[in-house]
């Protein structure tokens, strides 16, 4: 069942949501870990997903100044 065309903004929003969910899952249970290096490892893994979410959320799909030239 098709609900119509999907806009690029909707896809970007869903991608941000996925990155944020992955971050939360990566941080799940960090407080209860006894090994500090394992906790730090999980925090660093979450930072990557957070940075991805921020980059995606701040993307301007209307900005074409850096677009590759077309032939």
pLDDT tens column, 24-69: 888 888 888 999 999 999 999 899 889 989 998 888 777 655 555 5
**What is the pLDDT, as a whole number, of residue 34?**
93
pTM: 0.65
Residue 70 pLDDT greater than 70, yes or no: no
For the chain, the structural domain boundaries read 8-57
Residue 26: CB partners within 8 Å, gap ≥ 6?
42, 45, 46, 49
**Mean of the pLDDT values across residues 7-27?**
87
Cα–Cα–Cα angle for 11, 17, 18, nearest 5°?
90
17, 26 Cβ separation under 8 angstroms? no
Could you tell me the pLDDT band of residue 1, with boundaries at 50, 70 and 90? very low
């Amino acid at each position: 069942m098709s609900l119509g065309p999907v806009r690029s903004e909707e896809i970007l929003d869903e991608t941000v949501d996925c990155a944020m969910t992955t971050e939360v899952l990566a941080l799940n249970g960090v407080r209860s870990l006894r090994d500090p290096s394992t906790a730090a490892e999980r925090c660093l893994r979450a930072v990557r997903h957070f940075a991805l979410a921020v980059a995606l959320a701040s993307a301007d799909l209307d900005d074409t100044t850096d677009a590759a030239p077309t032939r």
